Structure 1
Amino acid sequence: MTDQLRVGDVAVSPLPGGGYGACQISEITDEHVTLHALDWSGPRPPELTELPDTGLVLLDHHSWSDRIAQISVFPQNHPMPPDLEWIGNLPVPPGVPAGGTSFSGWQSPVGDMVRQRRWERLPEPVRAAYRALRPPEPVTADLGGGPVTLTTSLGHLDLRSGDIPLPASGPVDWSVLDRLPRCTEITWSGPDRGLTAALARYPLVSGVNWFDAPPLVDLSDTSVLSLRAAGDELREIRLPDGAHHLDLGPTGSRCTVRAADRGRWLRLALFLATPSTPAPSGLDGVRQVSLTGAGVLSAATVTGLHEMHTLRLQWTGPPGRLDDPAALAGLPGLRLLEMVDAYGVDADLPAHLPGLRHLDIHGLRGSVAKELRARLRRTEVGLSLAGAKSDRWLAANMDNPFRDWADDDPKAGAAACKAFAAALRAVDRLPATRTPADAEPILRTLVEAINQIDEKWGIVDTLRREEAGDAFVTLATRAGVPTPTADDWFDKWRDF
């Protein structure tokens, strides 16, 4: 599809949270496509005749300063969304640079427009307080459990970490948010304790992470756009109009979600405790779904989500198998299937997907990759493959959390895998009565090895730093080191 695009082509796109917008191509190179948002939105898709002279979207929300809503996309890394509809060609407005300096996905420019429009709807005192904060200042706050020093620039109020004292029970003093004019995200755990009412009073907060959630999480009167919720007691979630992200799970049983248009405008991400975990009820209109789980996923999870056009499957551990693949045949609108670490998936999968238009896989067996290329060579299904590995490599490294580093740099990846494997063997040789002090030199050697790998090959970006941190904590837990101690060691020893 991308080889047919031209500079000036215009696409209509659904907007996060509801409605439609439009974007336009300003540059095409051998490697990337650059798009900018047009200053138009509405409840229905626009006609091309409505879009000339609509102007550009300038971003000045939060800390932005009149930047054009423009993004460059690497098509080889970001397959084109099925709901991006190309409707014609128009002259590129004056003042649009040919190439962008930021990189993301195809629909990022219209997503930026939604965030800008939301910012413009916030009360002026809220916006003024956010912008006036120069420089940050310390502030003493008390949520009812005792004073603590925070900073006025705090963007994420994490009340799950234990660093901020809370009263043992009863209401929390949420007026602390009056003194945090840049707080846009809250992490919380347990019963409501006044959180929902506070969110209704503080419209700047758009992101909530709620763990050990109560049976009902009702955010319908808030300005929350993105919710991550989990908990054994959670049974029902009510989202406000305009919400566009729901990350759910694991939960103790099936959950009901109430969202606008049965979830049509949501991106739904499910974190599954078991392969048999069903999708929540109430979201049969959802279009974009991702499933994440360890080892085995089941296509039966998404049975009933008949309007879905994009499905992403991500395995967090071996074998990377998909059970019940025939269930995907009941999704006639499925056009894009993405898979990460699908080492247990075989080449028969496309046979269950009659409407598929693009298959994107990162991490699979080399033999399966070869067979897929042969099967799809003369079909209309686009195929993107990366991270194919031989059976020999997988036999040695399947359980290694650094196995995918080899996709970017084989030597760096091999060194990271070797360092982790050595650390794992050393931890498993520790005596049963071990103490954290026994594990400390082993864990420090691992971090120093990653320091050297990054110094030599420069491979550790933000994502890989998180992967290294997760691997370190997993190994530390295996060695009996408390997580707070492991986190402290990791941050103290790492140079990346």
Structure 2
Amino acid sequence: MPAPGDIHVVHNERLQAFVAYQLTHQDARDGSLAVLTLDWTGATLPDPAAVAAMQPARFNYLQQDNALHHLGVGKQVPRDFQRVGWRAPLVDAAPNRFGSWPDGSEIERQRHWDALDAAATQAFKRAADAEDRTVLLEHGDYPVRRCATRLDGAAMNLAPSLHLFDALPLLTRLDIGEPVPGLLPWLRTRPLIHTLDISHTQDTTLDLRGTGLVQASIDATGLHHLHLNHGLSRLTLHGTITPGLVIEGEDDGRWLTLISTDATLRWSGLAALGALQLRDVRELDGGRIAERFLQLRALHVTGAPAVLHGLQRLGELQHLHTLSASDVFPPEDAVFPAPGCWPRLCRLWLGSVPAALGAAIRKAYKREVASGLDLAVTQLRTPDWLAANVDNPFRDWDGSAHVTTAQANKAATLYRKACSEALKLASASGDAAAVTEALAQVGRTYTEGFNALDRRSGFIETEEREQIYTAWLGIVDAVEARSVMALDREVLRAAMNEARTF
């Protein structure tokens, strides 16, 4: 049984080294553990002398200053963690942050920071200590100040030269919604800019090589070639992805997590992709995933809900470490891969899956929990549930921790009623202003329904509030599509906010 003081190591493939951790605390209420990163890495397992010399690791990348990496995590030690010794816990205080089990990526980030241009990192640290709000560039209500951490394309296009922004030592993010001449050559001179969100690229080729990006979100509409930089760890693709798109990346994508809502995977490249996240998909093919990405280590799927074909083909992914899925429904006769297919599997999280399949998975994988598999199979669904909830944006409320079944059902009813009334407006005669005004009233009634639902128990928090709002925007989208009108979304947004009390 895991206990505070235990020291474990886990192998990080990118570092080609083991990284050491200590379990420091265990919550008496639920058994959850706290994990501290230690200052040891090595190509082979540590000997007793190395264990005795280990100390807490300290991190200073970005805003951190000699900080510990100390997290509250789950209670099941992953099976790829190896116990190598015990020492009295090296820190007294319990952590105030929570997250997933670490894997050495925090060591990667520190080493990446240490390898950056020293003048740039020192300027960043100095600027972080003393906020300079001097205006560098006027930009309406949002002038660019010397302490800016992000820029958008509109502001950049106001500058006589992009090198004006070299005076922003804290700049780490770019949100580019319009073409910015000279963007990429300039970006290659700014190694601390780690995040790029770009759309409307116009060109058919986007070349990020030579930049210091760690995360990129790209509208791939019209792209034929996408060249990724070394060090990129997360790539989000949106827009209309054409079958002719070719993506090239470091080590064929081995260290990359790719995020997309397009499950067709019609583009080519990244044959060694490390992690794939498919979000809000309606249909996907396990065989297609296995054929494209045989070395996949992590697969996450959220359905809208989704029909999954070729479930058993996922068993071909022998390197799989993590599999999570929710609102994914294979055919009734589908067979889930047996435990032997995934010798490296450490985490299997399935939510909102067919009841019979979920029960079979629990039975088949029960023994694996004893050897360290983190198993969670929740929210088992009947065929009747699926038939009733295929178009219900609040389907995941049913069975959640703090929303009752009655509340989930009422939310679905409010949505369907608002959707029905809104689509009637789309078919009626009238101009955009008249439809907007009538739809605003539908939005008020929809919102007041949730006010009443929340009044007794106050269960609507940030996540639920966002889901209610997103569902309403989906209704507005449907009305615009059917009526072929551009509605005044500010009026519709204001109507909802004025009525909202949750």
Q: TM-score range by the shorter chain?
A: 0.7 to 0.9
Aligned counterpart, 2:122 = 124
> Helix, strand or coil: the match of 1:101?
coil
Instruction: Give me the whole-angstrom Cα distance separating, in 2, the residues matched to 1:427 and 1:105.
Output: 42
Cα displacement (A) at 1:415: 3.4
Distance 1:276 1:375, change over 3 A: same
Cα displacement (A) at 1:337: 1.9
Distance 1:166 1:16, change over 3 A: farther
Cα displacement (A) at 1:442: 1.4
Deviations 1:22-72 (A, max 9, x none): 332212343422111122457x56645645434323345444454421111
Counterpart code for 1:68: L
Corresponding position: 1:388 with 2:392: no
Instruction: Give me the whole-angstrom Cα distance separating, in 2, the residues matched to 1:18 and 1:378.
Output: 30
Cα displacement (A) at 1:440: 0.7
Aligned pairs for 1:160-239 (under 5 A) are 166=157, 173-175=161-163, 177-178=165-166, 180-189=168-177, 191=179, 193-213=181-201, 214-239=203-228
- Most deviating of 450-459 and 324-333: 450-459
Cα displacement (A) at 1:292: 2.6
Corresponding position: 1:88 with 2:87: no
Aligned counterpart, 2:273 = 286
Cα displacement (A) at 1:133: 1.1
Aligned counterpart, 2:105 = 111
> Helix, strand or coil: the match of 2:20?
strand
Aligned pairs for 1:1-16 (under 5 A) are 3=1, 7-14=5-12
- Most deviating of 461-470 and 298-307: 461-470
Counterpart code for 1:207: T
Counterpart code for 1:208: L
**In terms of Rg, which structure is larger?**
2
Distance 1:464 1:364, change over 3 A: same
Instruction: Give me the whole-angstrom Cα distance separating, in 1, the residues matched to 2:359 and 2:130.
Output: 57
Q: Is the 8 A contact 1:332 1:354 kept in 2?
A: no
Deviations 1:120-162 (A, max 9, x none): 544311332233216x5666436xxx89634555444344xx7
Distance 1:442 1:209, change over 3 A: same
Distance 1:254 1:329, change over 3 A: farther
Counterpart code for 2:33: V
Counterpart code for 2:192: L
Distance 1:40 1:210, change over 3 A: farther
Q: Is the 8 A contact 1:208 1:224 kept in 2?
A: yes
Cα displacement (A) at 1:341: 1.1
Counterpart code for 2:389: N
From 316, 322, 337, give the equivalent of 2:323.
Answer: 337
From 298, 304, 314, give the equivalent of 2:285.
Answer: 298
Aligned counterpart, 2:236 = 247
Corresponding position: 1:269 with 2:267: no
Instruction: Give me the whole-angstrom Cα distance separating, in 2, the residues matched to 1:126 and 1:364.
Output: 47
Instruction: Give me the whole-angstrom Cα distance separating, in 1, the residues matched to 2:367 and 2:170.
Output: 53
> Helix, strand or coil: the match of 1:339?
strand
Corresponding position: 1:102 with 2:88: no
TM-score where L is the length of structure 2: 0.80
Instruction: Give me the whole-angstrom Cα distance separating, in 1, the residues matched to 2:69 and 2:416.
Output: 45
Instruction: Give me the whole-angstrom Cα distance separating, in 1, the residues matched to 2:160 and 2:450.
Output: 42
Aligned pairs for 1:360-375 (under 5 A) are 360-375=349-364
Instruction: Give me the whole-angstrom Cα distance separating, in 2, the residues matched to 1:165 and 1:449.
Output: 44
Runs (5+) with no aligned partner, structure 1: none
> Helix, strand or coil: the match of 1:294?
strand
Instruction: Give me the whole-angstrom Cα distance separating, in 1, the residues matched to 2:20 and 2:204.
Output: 39
Aligned counterpart, 1:439 = 439
Deviations 1:288-320 (A, max 9, x none): 2222342111123321422222211221x23x2
Q: Is the 8 A contact 1:172 1:194 kept in 2?
A: no
Runs (5+) with no aligned partner, structure 2: 481-486
Instruction: Give me the whole-angstrom Cα distance separating, in 1, the residues matched to 2:222 and 2:275.
Output: 26
> Helix, strand or coil: the match of 1:201?
coil
Instruction: Give me the whole-angstrom Cα distance separating, in 1, the residues matched to 2:338 and 2:387.
Output: 28
Cα displacement (A) at 1:459: 3.7
Counterpart code for 1:387: Q
Cα displacement (A) at 1:339: 0.6
Cα displacement (A) at 1:179: 5.7
Q: Percent identity?
A: 19
From 131, 138, 141, give the equivalent of 2:138.
Answer: 141
TM-score where L is the length of structure 1: 0.81
Cα displacement (A) at 1:252: 1.3
Instruction: Give me the whole-angstrom Cα distance separating, in 1, the residues matched to 2:276 and 2:23.
Output: 27
Q: Is the 8 A contact 1:311 1:338 kept in 2?
A: yes
Corresponding position: 1:469 with 2:463: no
The count of corresponding residues between Structure 1 and Structure 2 is 472
Instruction: Give me the whole-angstrom Cα distance separating, in 2, the residues matched to 1:72 and 1:362.
Output: 23
Counterpart code for 1:362: G
CA RMSD of aligned residues (A): 3.6
Deviations 1:205-233 (A, max 9, x none): 21112224433222221111111223232
Distance 1:457 1:147, change over 3 A: closer
Counterpart code for 1:334: L
Aligned counterpart, 2:391 = 399
Aligned counterpart, 2:299 = 311
From 150, 157, 175, give the equivalent of 2:151.
Answer: 157
Cα displacement (A) at 1:472: 2.1
